[in-house]
Amino acid sequence: MTAKFALPAAPSADTIRAFTAIVGEKYALTDGNDQAPYLTEWRRLYQGKTPLILRPGSTEEVSRIMALASETGTAIVPQGGNTGLVGGQIPFDTEVVLSLQRMNRIRSVDPRGNVLIAEAGVTLAGVQKAAEEAGRLFPLSIGSEGSCQIGGNLATNAGGLQVLAYGNARNLVLGLEVVLPDGRVWDGLRALRKDNTGYDLRDLFIGSEGTLGIITAAVLRMLPQPKSKATAYAALPDLDAAARFFELANDLGAGELTAFELMPRIGIDFVLRHVEGTRDPMTAEHPWYALIELASQRPDEAQARAESLLMQGVEAGYVSDAVVAASLTQAGDFWRLREMLSEVQLYEGGSIKSDVSVPVAALPEFLARATEIVTKLVPGCRPVPFGHYGDGNIHYNVSQPEGADKAAFLARWDEVTHAINEVVLELGGSISAEHGIGRMKRDLLPEVKAPLEIELMRRIKSAFDPLGILNPGKLL
């Protein structure tokens, strides 16, 4: 899916020994069995090779690794929890993998200042737990939060389930510590809300997919814990109703609407078929569903707002049926239906996946046009579009026709995604909403970015990494 390019040469035996001496033999992996978990991702689209995997335990060790890499011209691929979906964390062949998983300390928590400092290898769930123990909320939430790491979340500017209320990862970061390609360390761990002193280096590294520097720690914003929360599951008759119901929810939510997730019936069927213990919250089947969450700083307010919203939605004809979760367990059951939508597609054969965004107002048109196009291209295919309706981000996935040859279907990946992307761009959208560019979409970038944008991005890359040793072949 990605054109070939010239990789730096593999490190010599002497260089490998020098790298190993930095972290110790226990944390330098050369055996194929030990390396295997680092060299493929869960969708198995990308399989990499590497002469060495390094697992440093400190920023100082990362700095020494990068200084040696700069001296020897060794390419380095930073890796967090290996949950990325576009191959950005998987090496091609000769690069050394640098895993941040041992750098997993919460360095400090300041509830009064509403900040904490976490190292890059702390899982997202670990950051959430540290905030919760301090009586605070870290609102970034994605399906892989038990295994993804905060450094990778920031390197990809992760989105997730609560962008509608709290923004992407970028909105939750005050400062960073970053190791540059030449080994120098930028200490930008400042807990300032306002710091208007020139170019914002922090925002250059966030979303750069490990191509400009290696994030080793971050100052993260915490928020007050909501006093009440409500989760609702609503059945929708069509996409026009979904659009109108979202407008209603956004108006009535008054800033307290934290999630509005769209799910198709076919996706729910997949989950019910393949995930033990799940059940349909409704007695009848409906074309579309919305999973809604509201949070409030007033006790019991969220529940009342959710009930009022659903009642008005039913009265207006936007909602066919609805239920508000009566317990945390039931709320968890609703969310499990949404969170398993990606995984269950593995059991239905090949799945061609797109992570796109369009203006919220254009979502019904996009979904209708994309479905018409892909079903004409591949008769019998099964579109499974779902995702973050509130911020215009849809994961437009297409499962193979039942009984079709998986390899033959997946061979049409570029054809199908190109057709979807054409609709996205016509509607003023983006071909990557939250997953990044990585290997998968690198060659598409010049088609969707103006030449000046590409030129400026290449200048930035060259300024930070003139030797081209940091995550080569990704993003640009």
**Helix, strand, coil in percent for the chain, rounding step 5:** 40, 20, 40
Q: What is this structure's pTM?
A: 0.92
Which overall architecture, per CATH, does domain 1-225 show? 2-Layer Sandwich (3.30)
- Are domains 1-225 and 349-440 of this chain identical in fold? no
Which residues of the chain are under the pLDDT cut of 50? 1-3
Q: Which residue has the tokens 């009848």?
A: 284
pLDDT at res. 3? 46
Structure tokens at 451: 């030449």
Angle at 379 between CA 375 and CA 385, to 5 degrees: 35
In the chain, the N- to C-terminal Cα span, in Å, equals: 14
> DSSP alpha helices (H): ranges in 254-358?
265-274, 301-316, 328-339, 341-344
Give the integer Cα–Cα distance in Å for 360 and 340: 24
pLDDT at res. 4? 57
Which overall architecture, per CATH, does domain 349-440 show? 2-Layer Sandwich (3.30)
Q: According to the CATH classification, is domain 228-342 in 3.30.70.2190? A: yes
pLDDT at res. 191? 92
CA nearest neighbour of 396 among 421, 379, 361, 415 = 421
pLDDT at res. 1? 45
**Cβ atoms within 10 Å, residue 359:** 12
The domains of the chain are located at 1-225, 228-342, 349-440
113-162, pLDDT tens digit by residue? Answer: 999 999 999 999 999 999 999 999 999 998 889 999 999 999 999 988 89
Give the integer Cα–Cα distance in Å for 46 and 86: 9
Give the integer Cα–Cα distance in Å for 465 and 204: 13
pLDDT at res. 143? 85
pLDDT at res. 42? 79
**Cβ atoms within 10 Å, residue 298:** 12
CA nearest neighbour of 401 among 416, 422, 386 = 416
Give the integer Cα–Cα distance in Å for 103 and 125: 15
Give the integer Cα–Cα distance in Å for 153 and 158: 5
252 to 255, 301, 323: CA distances (angstroms): 8, 12, 17
